[in-house]
Amino acid sequence: MYYFIGIKGSGMASLATILFDLGYEVAGSDIDKYIFIEEDLRKRGIPIYSFDKNNIKDGYEVIIGNAFDESNEEVKEALSNPNVKTHTYYDFLGHLMDQYISIGIAGTHGKTTTTGMAYHLFKEFDKTSVLIGDGTGHAVEDSKYFIAETCEYQDHFLHYYPTYAIINNIEMDHVDYFKSMEQYEKSFEQYANQVKDTVIIWGDDPHLPHLHYQKRVLKFGTGENNDVIAKNIINNDHGLSFDVYIHKDLFGHFALPFYGMHMLYDSLAVITLGYLENMSAEYIQERLSTFDGVKRRYTVKTVGNNIYVDDYAHHPTAIRYVIEATRSRYPHKKIVAIFQPDRFSRGLRFAKEFAEAMDLADYPFFVHFPENAKKEPGIDIDIYDIAKYNPRAQVIHEDEAAVKLLSQYDNVVYLFMSSKDIYKLEDQVIAYKQSQ
């Protein structure tokens, strides 16, 4: 029995479903609150318990989520029982990846989408298993490839030694752990140099090309100094169209149903990966043209003449990407942007940047920090400390008054952005408008 403490965590849920798909008995525990990530667990019939030290039995292999320590009764019980084998999430995943041609997807932005896109490309090419940071995991026995989203937070990705790695970009983040851009870059540099074969990087990034690489590097982007270059780019309400040149030779033409330049770069990274595994441009075009995204990354609902978008964006740059992509996709609609920050440290570090990014919307709204936002020593900030930098912005709670206020708009695109459960407010707005 594999038992997961914190099974509703995004990576933990993915890993649990992978082991279940491989034929192992799996169960786990977590808080009782519903989290969208648990849906795939329940579809497979994987039991989810409340925390109780009596859940831990002799002979179990226990995988401990990153957020849990011995203050949790199950962790304490597992670590003290000599008949229980324990693993951290990242150590277990690292050992699992070593059994395959493994592909690690890293970078500040775009990891989840790029991981999902790479899996969509590879799963019809050869047997492929995947771990995505939206709680999705799929495994096939005798897989040749294993694709995993690898996060830099607290240097967790330094436990992995993938065959290939994509690093989409780097921009200062996780400021509760990383204290300087230099420290942040050093972590990515070490990760890149743990790769066994080739590192694929965004060559137009202001930081990535200047790291010291000891492995083969392929650079993608739009600049002429890259190995993989997108040219003749069209970015409009029909999607993206571009030609790809690899080592100055035309590789192929791509027309994809994606919006925004950030999706161009994610696509280029995956195209480069396919090229390394000898996929044809025609095959890559065929597969990518049917990729419809991942959970909570630009998830679109159309209700009446309004568009509702749920996105995980929780960094100023990600908010910019989402709003700019929306302008491309829906050029004739006004944008109502609703953002809830997740961490006090991130809110403090990027207060002005959040306000400036939200100013790209026609109607910007900031939602108060969630009640379960982790308190961090020495940080005293509330939502008004961010909103004050944007005189057009309004501040709202997650309540009935906010639902009524947001519902006054019509024929618009609503963007609900947060790593927290902002999608619940979206559902309330939809329900209220339908009831009127």
Q: Judge if 260 and 314 occupy the same domain.
A: no
pLDDT of residue 314: 83
Provide the number of structural domains found in the chain: 3
> Which stretches of the chain score pLDDT less than 70?
293-297
pLDDT of residue 153: 80
Tens-digit pLDDT profile for residues 4-54 = 999 999 899 999 999 999 999 999 999 998 888 888 899 999 999 999 999
| Domain that residue 82 falls in | 2-89
pLDDT of residue 362: 97
Q: Judge if 195 and 334 occupy the same domain.
A: no
pLDDT of residue 297: 65
Q: Judge if 114 and 171 occupy the same domain.
A: yes
As a three-state string, the secondary structure of the chain is: CEEEECCCCHHHHHHHHHHHHCCCCEEEECCCCCCHHHHHHHHCCCCEECCCHHHCCCCCEEEECCCCCCCCHHHHHHHHCCCCEEEEHHHHHHHHHCCCEEEEEECCCCHHHHHHHHHHHHCCCCCEEEECCCCCEECCCCCCEEEEECCCHHHHHHHCCCCEEEECCCCCCCCCCCCCHHHHHHHHHHHHCCCCCEEEEECCCCCHHHCCCCCEEEEEECCCCCCEEEEEEEEECCEEEEEEEECCEEEEEEEECCCCHHHHHHHHHHHHHHHHCCCCHHHHHHHHCCCCCCCCCCEEEEECCEEEEEECCCCHHHHHHHHHHHHHHCCCCEEEEEECCCCHHHHHHCHHHHHHHHCCCCEEEEECCCCCCCCCCCCCCCCHHHHCCCCCCEEECCCHHHHHHHCCCCCEEEEEECCCCCHHHHHHHHHHHHHC
| 209 falls within a domain | yes
CATH code at position 346 = 3.90.190.20
Q: Judge if 13 and 155 occupy the same domain.
A: no
Q: Which of 89, 119, 150 is the last residue of a domain?
A: 89
Residues of the chain with pLDDT > 90: what percent? 74
| 293 falls within a domain | no
Q: Judge if 103 and 81 occupy the same domain.
A: no
Q: Read off the pTM.
A: 0.82
Q: Judge if 199 and 332 occupy the same domain.
A: no
Residues of the chain with pLDDT > 70: what percent? 99
| 294 falls within a domain | no
CATH code at position 83 = 3.40.50.720
Q: Judge if 357 and 246 occupy the same domain.
A: no
